[in-house]
Amino acid sequence: MNYDDLADLYDHQYDVYRDDLHFYAGVAERTGGRILEVGAGTGRVTAFLARRGLNVTGLEPSARMIEKGRARAERDGLPLNFVQGDVRTFQSSESFDLVIAPFNALMHLYSLNDQLDAMQNLRAHLGAGAPFVFDLYVPRFGKMNTLRHEGETFHGPEGERTDVFVVQRHDKLKQVITTEYFVDTVSASGSLSRRHFTLTQRYFNRFEVEWLLRCAGFESPRVSGSFQGGPLDATSEVMVFQTRAK
Ligand SMILES: C[S@@+](CC[C@H](N)C(=O)[O-])C[C@H]1O[C@@H](n2cnc3c(N)ncnc32)[C@H](O)[C@@H]1O
């Protein structure tokens, strides 16, 4: 999954998402040391941690997302450190004291081999006892195969208005959700332009993640249903996993 095409839209959609920031900052402040953030994107979490003086490296495959992240670093006067690479294959000569993978970053691992390669590679970059913390959304979806507008409207500096429409398709057997974005911009003079992107996510159930962690050399995780630490239950929107390298 290449986020290059989505990079321009990404910050409009998610820069305001803050539910996870204090949670990851708390984990990182308790651990300290060298932190690896997997799927750092445009640096939404990276910047929050760096602003607190934490030593974080953002691993991100998309050149365009990194470009946006570096623009953020310059704008905010922050020393953000991005490395272009893939969680399955990146290599660093140094190990890390903590790995985090915020906001569904692991949902782009589509096959069992992708998932195991990623987890084993992360395990190889952590010392025994070092924490690995990540969150994934609980699979629960809106109306499929239907064009939806979910309130995403952005107003640009030159009077243009952008509306985001989505169509989602669900392949239950493959545990894959495909989201097509139709991004319509009407300029101040009334001309309409449409961009189209596709996002594919492999969603997870709780116990397969637990097995995956065991197979890759991690301890049984603590699983919460919120960033405040509440239990995972029928109302939870996220699954938060906190484990350690064995
Ligand atoms: C939903 S975004 C999350 C971005 C950021 N963590 C945030 O919270 O805003 C998922 C990110 O994972 C990245 N990603 C996708 N496949 C990846 C892979 N194989 N290895 C590392 N990162 C990956 C994408 O490029 C994207 O930036």
The tens digit of pLDDT for each residue in 184-223 reads 999 999 999 999 999 999 999 999 999 999 999 999 999 9
d(CA 207, ligand 1 centre) in Å: 22
Q: Are residues 178 and 93 in the same domain?
A: no
For ligand 1, whether the C-beta of 40 sits within 6 Å is: yes
Q: Are 33 and 6 in contact (CB under 8 A)?
A: no
- Within the chain, strands assigned E span 34-38, 55-60, 81-84, 98-101, 131-137, 148-155, 161-171, 176-186, 192-202, 222-224, 238-244
Give the chain's domain count. 2
pLDDT digits (tens, 9 = 90+) for 75-123: 999 999 999 999 999 999 989 999 999 999 999 999 999 999 999 999 9
Average the pLDDT over 16-31 and give the result: 97
d(CA 41, ligand 1 centre) in Å: 5
Q: Which residues contact 22 (CB under 8 A, 6 or more apart)?
A: 227
Assign residue 195 the CATH number of its domain.
Answer: 2.20.25
State the CB neighbour count (10 A cutoff) for residue 6: 20
> Domain residues for 99?
7-138+204-244
Which of 6, 108, 115, 179 maximizes ligand 1 atoms within 8 Å of its Cβ, making it the mutation to test the pocket?
Answer: 108
Nearest CA to ligand 1 atom 27: 41
Residue 216, exposed/middle/buried by CB under 10 A (0-12, 13-18, 19+)?
buried
* Pairing status of strand 34-38 against strand 98-101: parallel
d(CA 168, ligand 1 centre) in Å: 19
Q: Is residue 2 part of a domain?
A: no
Give the DSSP letter string of 3-35.
TTTTHHHHHHHHTT--TTHHHHHHHHHHH-SEE
For ligand 1, whether the C-beta of 39 sits within 6 Å is: yes
Q: Mean pLDDT over all residues of the chain? A: 96
Q: Are residues 166 and 45 in the same domain?
A: no
Note the pLDDT of residue 141: 84
| Rounded Cα gap, residues 143 and 39, in angstroms | 28
Cα→Cα distances 64→20, 68, 97, 101, 199, Å: 23, 6, 28, 19, 16
For ligand 1, whether the C-beta of 119 sits within 6 Å is: no
Is the model's pLDDT at 142 over the cut of 90? Answer: no
Average the pLDDT over 11-29 and give the result: 94
Is the model's pLDDT at 33 over the cut of 90? Answer: yes
Amino acid at 17: Y
Q: Are residues 120 and 193 in the same domain?
A: no
pLDDT band at residue 50, thresholds of 50, 70 and 90?
Answer: very high
d(CA 187, ligand 1 centre) in Å: 31
Nearest CA to ligand 1 atom 19: 86
Note the pLDDT of residue 140: 85
Q: Are residues 195 and 230 in the same domain?
A: no
Q: Are residues 229 and 197 in the same domain?
A: no
Whole-model pTM? Answer: 0.96
For ligand 1, whether the C-beta of 34 sits within 6 Å is: no
d(CA 145, ligand 1 centre) in Å: 25
